Structure 1
Amino acid sequence: MSKAYVFTRFGGPEVETFLDQDPPEPGPGQLLVAVRAAGVNPVDWKLRAGKRRPGSPPAEFPEVLGSEVAGVVEAVGSDVVGGAGVGDGSDFAVGDAVFGNPDTGGYAEYTLLPASLTAHKPAGLSFTEAAALPVAAATAYDGLRQLDLPTGATLLITGVGGGVGVAAAQLARHLGVRVVGTASEGKRAFVESLGAVHVPPGPGLADRVRAAAPGGRVDAVFDLVGGEDLVAAASLLPDPRGKLITAAAKETVAELGGAAVARARTREVLDAVARLAVDGVLRPQVTATYPLERAGEALRAVEDGHARGKVVIEVGA
């Protein structure tokens, strides 16, 4: 039997529980992976609360929580080995260390990963570090490619202290982009360690950003919080088209003339962020780890909004 942390209906933390279940069987294009680590993200509790993407298939309860993992391949679907059905010639075999976005949830001892959204884990990354990449780092990478800012530009990142924000700040600095980031006062030192200028969120945000930004202006906004801070940030841009993106509030950003982050969701992006991590450009910034038995505490740390960087659940040896 395999242990998994699930939610049994839409709702709050009260709908979460542990279940013992048989490991899933890999179908065409899938890998059965023994999970070694699972990243924790805001999307996890949002899905539990019923906030699903338009067009998503209906939930089938119980549903395992978690959207990014790293682990070891235990079995492969019939059309995976040799690249058949994958399209890029990459092989996956039993025993391979991999990371990616699971089909069947990540807070579990075993899960299924689609081969198309799975990459080989570099030897230079631990399982814990690799599990922090498929959602947060990949979202940051996609967003910065979408903004396509020149060297010397200034980027405002709202909510810079979370997983996506810390990755975006590091990648932007690597590209020669100056970063101003909003985060609570308690995260000031952490934000500044990323090479970003810290600005507290809340009322008066636009004025504080103007005072902190070089030349009193920003060239683009990468929003990770939505709400009034997104509206205030948008007011800093003369023309938000192409320079205002969000990973938190798609409807609001559209009303403001911006766009949601266009996620590529490819193995190529996973390989790219892994290389950046191995090269030291991108530090996964895992600031807290929990065993699977404390998965609920790990999710609370992210859901409460106080976590710095990435929270990861460590599952297997």
Structure 2
Amino acid sequence: MTLPTTMNAMVLTGHGDLDMYHWHTNWPVPAPAPGDVLIRVRACGLNNTDVNTRSGWYSKTVDDATTGGAFDEVDETDPTWGGRPLTFPRIQGADICGEIVAVGSDIDPARIGERIISDNWLRDPADPDNKDKTGYYGSERDGGYAQYTTIPATNALAVNSPLSDAELATFSCSYSTAEGMLTRANVTATDTVLVPGASGGVGGALVQLAKRRGARVIALASEAKHAEVATLGPDIILPRAPEYLRAALGDEKITVVADVVGGAQWASLIDVLERGGRYTCSGAIAGPMVTLDLRTFYLRDLTFTGSTVIDPQVTRNLIKYIEAGEIKPALAATYPLSELRDAQSAFIAKHHTGNIVVIP
């Protein structure tokens, strides 16, 4: 197969608003280094990490909710998920579905032609369980907002599924994030899980994956999106932010809160947890600054877990769930890659329920 030497790519040139993305039609096609494979990208999902990294929201100088726009002040020393500077220019995009079209010198050529989705966590091959030695695809190295991309061969996970490329591109970030949260919280069939933001990509994945574990699931979402959230299978759907959450829950006993929202409602989420309950968090799109009454925390024997870097097996388990038909994609919309700015605007504004995907 003869591969092109240039490609279309959406390139991020710095932290800021959407105008920091620049469209190129002659960007060099990368060559796979030893240990890597070259992927023809068929679809790439959007996620909050892309938005937050582009805007610099991860910086400790920012205490606002995720807006997707530029912030007045971003400390250039800590603007990424890992608290380190980002190298520009950078091609973002972690959630790829594509086909292996070339391999590095030490990779079996038999892998050429495999259909894959990405495991987004870049690990040290000699120390894969060390969370201090991890990077994120599309952050610490170029990702999938392009026609071609390279990735470590161990991060290119073969998948056998009748789902479309766009549907498969919804799983890598949202579902691995959700499964990582549920794993950290040790969710089982004995639990009742409360999911704020259930209409989002991670929220919808939390609903499905918690149900897969046999748990009872209560979803919070804006009422306009209740019909779509219902297709994911929660036991109960409540408004996004009930004025009196405890009253709205009635006799339900919440043992786990799985949250990527944070913001003004956060204290009420903690207040409804049963004694011995668990709170697991992998985001704060409504705002990172919250108020905690430590008496609630310790007198109720609560456990809090943050969840970012997931265990290597989590994404591999997702492949099994996908191939067995145990989880389904929540594809909201697709956009051409050249319209990434519009796609991110829709993603940020939550115009859609589920995941948005761009097509190179």
Structure 1 length-normalised TM:
0.86
Match of 2:102 among 75, 98, 107: 75
| C-alpha separation in 2, matches of 1:49 and 1:68 | 19
- Measure how far apart 1:5 and its partner are: 1.1
2:89 is matched with 62
Residue 232 (str. 1) matches residue 268 (str. 2):
yes
Residue number in structure 1 paired with 2:243? 204
Shift of 1:274: 2.2
Q: Are residues 1:185 and 2:190 paired?
A: no
- In structure 2, do the counterparts of structure 1 residues 5 and 205 end up closer, same or farther at CA, with 3 Å as the change threshold? farther
Secondary structure, aligned partner of 1:108: coil
Contact 1:155–1:220 (Cα < 8 Å) also in 2: yes
Structure 1 residues 262 and 53, CA gap change in structure 2 (3 angstroms): closer
**Change beyond 3 A, Cα 1:12–1:205:** farther
CA distance in 1, matches of 2:18, 2:339: 13
The structural deviation recorded for 1:150 is 3.0
Q: 1:17 aligns with which of 1, 13, 22?
A: 22
Say how many residue pairs are matched. Answer: 300
Deviates more, 1:170-179 or 1:270-279: 270-279
Instruction: Output one character per residue of 1:266-314: Cα deviation in whole Å (capped at 9) or x when no partner.
Output: 2x33332122123222111112111222222211111113321111112
Instruction: Note the residue ranges of structure 1 that are not aligned, 5 or more in a row.
Output: 82-90
How far, CA to CA, are the matches of 1:99 and 1:293 in structure 2?
A: 21
**Contact between 1:75 and 1:94, CA under 8 Å: does it hold in 2?**
yes
Correspondence for 1:278: 323
Q: Is the 8 A contact 2:255 2:274 kept in 1?
A: no
CA contact (8 A) 1:253 1:260 kept: no
**Equivalent residue for 1:33?**
39
What are the residue-to-residue correspondences of 1:144-223 with 2, within 5 Å? 144-196=182-234, 197-202=236-241, 204=243, 206-211=245-250, 215-223=251-259
CA distance in 2: counterparts of 1:11 and 1:259, whole angstroms: 30
Deviation track 1:182-202 (CA, whole Å, cap 9, x = no partner) reads 111111111222222222233
For residue 3 of structure 1, what is the aligned residue in structure 2?
A: 8
Higher helix share: 1
CA deviation after TM superposition for structure 1 residue 157, in Å: 0.7
Structure 2, unaligned runs of 5 or more: 1-5, 59-79, 121-136, 298-302
Report the equivalent of 1:304. Answer: 349
- 1:286 and 1:311 in contact (8 A); partners too: yes
User: What SS does the corresponding residue of 2:246 show, helix, strand or coil?
Assistant: helix
Find 1:288's aligned residue among 321, 333, 350. Answer: 333
- Cα displacement (A) at 1:247: 1.0
Letter in 2 for 1:200: P
Provide the aligned C-alpha RMSD in A: 2.4
> Closer, same or farther in 2 for the Cα pair 1:92/1:289, shift >3 Å?
farther
Greater shift, 93-102 or 137-146, is seen at 93-102
Distance 2:289 2:35 in 1: 36
How far is 1:75 from its partner? Answer: 1.8
- State how far apart, in whole Å, the 1-side matches of 2:219 and 2:256 are: 12
From 157, 174, 197, the equivalent of 1:136 is 174
Q: What is the rounded CA distance, in whole Å, between the counterparts of 1:158 and 1:223 in structure 2?
A: 6
Q: In 2, distance between residues paired with 1:217 and 1:191? A: 21
Give the AA of the match of 1:49. Answer: S
In the superposition, relative to structure 1, how do residues 96 and 253 fare at CA in structure 2: closer, same or farther (>3 Å)? farther
Q: Name the residue aligned to 1:259.
A: 305
Cα 1:45–1:262, aligned 2, differ >3 Å: closer, same or farther?
A: closer
| Counterpart-to-counterpart distance in 2, 1:138 and 1:253 | 25
Q: Distance in 2 between matches of 1:298 and 1:312?
A: 8
Structure 1 counterpart of 2:257, which letter? Answer: V
Corresponding residue for residue 130 of structure 2: none
1:63 counterpart SS class: coil
